[in-house]
Amino acid sequence: MTTAGHKLRTLREKLDLTLRDVESASYRIASKYNNVEFAIPLSRLSDIETKGIVASVFRLYSLSVIYRMRFNDLLSWFGIDIQNQAADLAVIAPTKTHIVNTRPTSEPVRMPVRMDPGFDVSRTNNLGRMIEKWGVVPMTFLQRFEDDHFSYGYVGSDDFTLYPLVLPGSFVQIDESKNRVVGGGWRSEYERPIYFVETRDGYVCSWCSVHGAQLVVQPHSLSPVPVRAYRHPQDAEVVGQVIGIAMRLNEWCVSDFEQASKVPRALTQGA
C-alpha cells in the first residue's frame, strides 16, 4: 500500500523540487503569516516522507501550496475525506436546536438531471422511481443559485416546541429576510408562519407573536413545552421564517416525549 509520505515524495520529485526547496518555500509561507508552525524543517520533511509522520494542519497547508494540490485532496492521502462530513453528522444528535454551518464543497456530486414526465408534484411519490437519469454536476456550478439570505437549522432531539407539527431531529430552511413576526391572517396551524429564534439560551423553532416589548414563543397545543416570553430584541431575536422542513419520522423517541411532558405548562420566562 502506497503511503501518504511516499505519494508526497513522488509528487515532489515530479515537480523537480529538492527537500531544501520545500523547506525554503515553507519558511516563506511562515514568514508571510508570521507563524512558524507553517515552516517544515528539512529533517521533519524527511520524516514525513519516509517514517509515516503525520504533519500538522499548518504544515499540510504549506505542502498543499508548494505542491499545487487542493488541501482536501492532500487530506484524503492521510485518510480524511471531507466529502464524508455531511454523512458523519449522524454520529451525534445535539439536544439543543442550532444553526447548521456545514456548506457544500466544490466537489462534483451525483444528482437527478431528468425526471419522469409523469411526475406529479401534487401526489405523494417514491422520488427514487421518478428519476430517469442521474448526472455528475460540480457543486461550484450550483453556487450561483445560492441565496445569501437563506440559512439552515436543525431542531434538537429535545426540542418538542412544535411537536407534532415539526418533529425533533428535523432540518429546516430559514429565510432570513423574513425576520419580522406576522400577526394573524392564517386559516389553520398549517398556514401559520414558523420562525427560527435565537435566545440567550440557544435556538428554538416555534410560532411567535409580539406583545409590546415581548416576543412570545408559542408551542403547539399538543406540545409539553410551555409558552415562553422574552424581552425583544434584548433576550431573543428572530433569525428568520422557516420556509422548508425535512423530517425523519422514525428518529424521535417516545420516552423523550414522555420526559418532556413532565415540564409544567404554565411557565413564562424572561418577562
Q: Over the stretch 26-53, which tens digit does the pLDDT of each residue have?
A: 999 999 999 999 999 999 999 999 998 9
Query: What pLDDT is attached to residue 269?
Result: 41
The pLDDT of residue 264: 43
- pLDDT tens, N- to C-terminus, the chain (271 residues): 789 999 999 999 999 999 999 999 999 999 999 999 999 999 999 999 999 899 999 999 999 999 999 999 999 999 998 878 777 877 887 888 787 766 555 556 666 667 777 766 556 466 566 677 677 665 555 555 555 677 888 888 888 999 999 998 888 888 999 999 998 888 999 999 999 999 988 899 999 999 999 999 999 999 999 999 999 989 999 999 999 998 877 655 555 556 556 544 433 344 3
At residue 180, the pLDDT reads 93
State the pLDDT at residue 158.
Answer: 84
Write down the domain spans for the chain: 4-80, 89-271
Residues 6+ apart with CB under 8 A from 163: 220, 222, 223, 224, 225, 257
CA 194/CA 238 separation, integer angstroms: 10
Q: Which three cell numbers stand for residue 173?
A: 430552511
The per-residue pLDDT for 267 is: 37
What is the number of other CB atoms lying within 10 angstroms of the CB of residue 229? Answer: 19
The long-range contacts involving 97-102, CB below 8 angstroms and separated by at least 24 positions, are 97/153, 97/154, 97/155, 97/156, 97/159, 97/202, 97/203, 97/204, 97/205, 98/153, 98/154, 98/156, 98/202, 98/203, 99/151, 99/152, 99/153, 99/154, 99/203, 99/239, 100/152, 100/153, 100/154, 100/171
Task: Report the candidate in 173, 148, 146, 171 with the shortest Cα–Cα distance to residue 241.
Answer: 173
Distance between first and last Cα of the chain = 64
* Beta pairing class for 236-246 and 214-218: unpaired
C-alpha angle with apex 140: 134 to 142, nearest 5 degrees? 60
Say what the pLDDT of residue 155 is: 87
Contact, 26 vs 62, CB < 8 A?
A: yes
Q: Which of 73, 133, 58, 131 is nearest to 105 (CA)?
A: 73
Containing H/E element for 237?
Answer: strand 236-246
User: What does the alpha-carbon distance between residue 177 and residue 123 come to, in Å, rounded to a whole number?
Assistant: 30
CATH domain 89-271 topology:
Umud Fragment, subunit A (2.10.109)
Output phi, psi for 197, to 5 deg.
-120, 135
Whether 4-80 shares its CATH topology with 89-271 is answered no
Annotation: CATH topology of 4-80: 434 Repressor (Amino-terminal Domain) (1.10.260)
Which among 151, 185, 172, 163 has a CA at the least distance from the CA of 253?
Answer: 163
